[in-house]
Amino acid sequence: MELVALQGLNFVYISLTLALVALGLAVVFGLLGVMNMAHGEFVMLGAYSVLVVQNAGLPLLAALPLALAVCAAVGWLLEYFVIRHLYRRPFDTLLATWGLAILMREIVEAVFGRDYKSVNQSLPGTVEVFGAVYPAYRVVLMALMVAFFAGLFLWYRRSNTGARIKAMVSNPALATAVGVNTAVLARGAFIFGVCMAGLAGVALAPLVRVEPYMGIDYLLSSFFILVVGGLGSLVGLLVGSTVIGGSDAIVSAITSKTGGYMTVLVISILFLWLRPNGIVARD
Amino acid sequence: MASSRAINVLFLIGLLLVPFMWDSFVAYQLGLFLLYGMVGQGIGLCWGRAGFLPLGQALFFGVGAYVFGFALKLEAGPLILVAGLLAAILLPALIAFVVGFLVFIRQIGSGPYFSLITLALTMLGFQLANSMDWLTGGFNGMTGIPALPGTDTYETLYYVIWAALVLVSGVLAYVGTAPFGQLLGATAQNEERLQYFGVNTALLKAIAFAISAAVAGLAGALFAPHQGIVTPQSVGFLLSAEIVVWTAVGGRASLMGPVLGAILIGFMASELRDSFQYWEVLIALVFVVVVIRFPGGLWSLVEGLARRLPSIGAKGARKRDLETDKSRADGSVRLAFEDVELVLGPVRILDKLSFRIDTPGVHSIIGPNGAGKTSAFNVLTGRLKPTAGRIEYNGATVGGLSRHRIARKGIARKLQIPSVFPDLSVDRNLDIALWAGNLTLSQMFTLRPFRWSTPLLNEMYDIFPFLEDGRQPAGSLSLGQRQMLDFAMTCLTQSPLLLLDEPCAGLSSSETGEMIDAIERIVATTGSTAIIIEHDMQVVERLSNHVLVLNQGALLANGAMEEIRSNPAVQAVYGGGSK
């Protein structure tokens, strides 16, 4: 029972984190049409924030504001100097963000080194959930993520900004004409998207090896989540992360990590082939 | 163009002389970069010409290396080696073809899906190479690969690599010049338009990807004896990314650019990587700048010409001396819409649209904006799938088929906005129209189709004399001329059914007159059936005696112009019939 609860919690934790990464990618891809190939590198920045905070001897939750600040700053720089000149040129943004991803990796490698770092596992404070002993840090993060998804869902449906974003997506020229500042809105959406990746990086740091090349895996898994779940709805996103995270976890446990990876890839190609718009298509 | 070829040949000769000018160790190092450069040439075919970016090319390189390394280690005679080499080339090509076709048939254009799937494939390859110890040697790699029989790894192997480079360059140059390469370039510019010419673009792109994978496999095969060891790094993501960077910096659109990029960055890296900490950062920065600002790369500096047309095959004077007869034996057309519905989201665009067209001549579709005129063309040509109902063309159901299939059944379409291939010459645009529906896959790899001509083409030259200046890029034509070129291309397919969506839109009144004359003349000489969508009633009146009126996605009236004029329902829709 304890083991089941522990595995269940781990699975929920991973799925939520993946959904968070995919949410960021979906915002940038779905709203702005930019496939941000550097998305995974923001996950990496988030993970390195945890490392920096730990090396400085600060409490781990201090990594959250640090990751947000770093990702927002880098995201702003990229949007301002590169991305905004390339909106509506999807292939060029793919290339440019691919180059920026290499650049970000190489800079981090030059500063922190190529080798794997790991974040201290023995976190202070545990809570008992369904009989399983679980680190309090992760319970807090999980609660934060759930609250965040719920809040975002309500906000996007109700708020003015949500309406303005929808207007910008469906007709940018008209949105500009009726007074929506699409430039600011687009920049906001981009920064929001990469900050989600950074937050997910904070959540992932204690579980994985932190290294400059860690981001690619998250770019791919969040992309697969979008392929399976479809763009444009939060439900699809959660379904997609459960399918991708779940099949990876189950097949990896039965066969090997490679088997899990191959399963995810096959599922994604099948979805691309059979349901090009994902499970929950955008209307 | 001749100068560009001369530079390529000089470059290759220069590479052959390297062992004499420097020492054989430099040549040994250079050999590795030439191998990477070949992989880059394959990426250039996909990225520079066809406009889709493979991010996992090292997978094919590594597969080739493992396969041929395995064959070398068997030391079982020349037959096994030849079989191994073939497998090292064909296995990657097969993988690439299958994956490419699966993705391209669903995703039109240069979307990110293909690039990300190839990236995932190379990650998978890396994991497989690591975990399949029994075959690949796992993390430590496949070691102790003997030299290629008859060569010395540090002396003569370089010439084998050089010969492979010459072979690959020759094949890629030829493939790029042949109709296949021209169609590939057209795919990058306007894939959908090409599908309306009956070209299966997914197949075309998958073949291009397979060729690039075969080249990578060959390079990988030579890598095995060159290094004597193959590790999972050879299939991995890092090598894939590096080769993309070299290709971009060297020049993705040129034949030799990727090789130059691999050589320059390769040698500089081996000098600077250890002494200069920020070397990789610098290269990444250069890549970003080159990709956005200088798509021609370093090779464009070599050629001294920054901007060139991609139509490498254009020669001075061309002869069209092969008369091909495209006219179809039975040009009659029977088209029927039966209760066709099209629903997109909450909007009902076509609402049980039914009509029949089975007489030759010009038929017009009119109706207010939003009546569903262009949508009727869209469901007929495969741009949209009808939600319900049947569309029958000459006895076969066409509703829901893919665009190129429908086009091949003899339906040609001119889009409302003139859409030609702007970077290709006028001549090449006309070629594509002549090839439409007639070019077989094997003919795509011969040069004869460039000499094709039809009686109708000569008539087109007569009607639109500006077409004879065939070497200018189609993008430099005026709007009116582009409309006329687009119209000419649509007719040159010699499809029995021509769909013309506002052929006179944006034309001056004299140009409109020319266009009307042209439509009349072509329809009369070819005996084809044309359906035009038109707002200009004068055009409708002059051209056709059969008019279909659409309103709210359904047929409102159907008959001769006089009947339509006196129809009270039509008068009501058109504001009391004042027109």
In terms of domains, do B244 and B161 share one?
yes
Q: Would the pLDDT of B120 be above 50?
A: yes
**Residue A133 φ then ψ, to 5°:** -85, 125
Residue of B103, B105, B111 lying closest to A90 (CB–CB): B111
Per-residue pLDDT tens digits for A26-80: 888 877 888 888 999 999 999 999 888 888 888 777 888 999 999 999 999 998 8
Q: Beta-carbon neighbour count of residue B183 at 10 Å?
A: 23
Residue labelled with tokens 């191994």: B84
* Angstrom distance (rounded) from CA B572 to CA B191: 41
Would B288 be classed as within a structural domain?
Answer: yes
In terms of domains, do B257 and B393 share one?
no
Print the domain residue range for B271: 2-303
Per-residue pLDDT tens digits for A136-154: 777 888 888 888 888 888 8
In terms of domains, do B94 and B217 share one?
yes
In terms of domains, do B233 and B362 share one?
no
* Angstrom distance (rounded) from CA A13 to CA A138: 8
What residues contact residue B137 under an 8 Å CB cut-off, 6+ apart? Answer: B143, B230
User: To the nearest whole percent, how much of chain B has pLDDT over 90?
Assistant: 14
B384/chain A closest Cα distance in angstroms? 15
With CA atoms as reference, report the closest residue to B514 among B561, B472, B480.
B480
When pLDDT is cut at 50, 70 and 90, the band that residue B311 belongs to is very low
**CB distance A210 to A39 below 8 Å:** no
The residue with greater pLDDT, B56 or A178, is: B56
Please tell me if residue B127 touches chain A, with a CB cutoff of 8 Å.
Answer: yes
In terms of domains, do B273 and B360 share one?
no
In terms of domains, do B519 and B407 share one?
yes
In terms of domains, do B558 and B516 share one?
yes
* Angstrom distance (rounded) from CA A61 to CA A44: 17
* Angstrom distance (rounded) from CA B238 to CA B269: 15
Measured between beta carbons, which residues in chain B are less than 8 angstroms from residue A261? 123-124, 127
Measured between beta carbons, which residues in chain B are less than 8 angstroms from residue A256? 131
Per-residue pLDDT tens digits for B202-223: 999 999 999 999 999 999 999 9
* Angstrom distance (rounded) from CA B465 to CA B203: 35
Angle, in degrees to the nearest 10, between helices B112-131 and B78-104: 140
Measured between beta carbons, which residues in chain A are less than 8 angstroms from residue B238? 213
Tokens of B459: 């008539």
Residue labelled with tokens 């409302």: B416
Would B410 be classed as within a structural domain?
Answer: yes
Would B342 be classed as within a structural domain?
Answer: yes
User: Which residues in chain B (289-328) have CB-CB distances under 8 A to chain A?
Assistant: 291-292
**Mean pLDDT, all residues of chain B:** 84
Q: Would the pLDDT of B265 be above 80?
A: yes
- Secondary element (H or E) of residue B507: none
In terms of domains, do B217 and B69 share one?
yes
In terms of domains, do B373 and B299 share one?
no
Instruction: State the amino acid at position B371 in one-letter form.
Output: A
Burial of A237 from C-beta contacts in 10 A (0-12 / 13-18 / 19+): buried
Q: In the β-sheet with B554-559, what is the strand arrangement from edge to edge?
A: B411-414, B497-501, B529-533, B361-366, B546-551, B554-559
In terms of domains, do B384 and B284 share one?
no
**Residue B338 φ then ψ, to 5°:** -125, 110
* Total structural domains within chain B: 2
In terms of domains, do B346 and B297 share one?
no
Q: Beta-carbon neighbour count of residue B164 at 10 Å?
A: 19
Extract the runs of DSSP E, i.e. beta strands, from B438-514: 452-453, 497-501
Extract the runs of DSSP E, i.e. beta strands, from B358-469: 361-366, 388-393, 396-397, 411-414, 452-453
- Whether residues A107 and B99 touch (CB distance < 8 A) is answered with no
In terms of domains, do B368 and B266 share one?
no
Please give the pLDDT value at position B142: 84
Would B221 be classed as within a structural domain?
Answer: yes
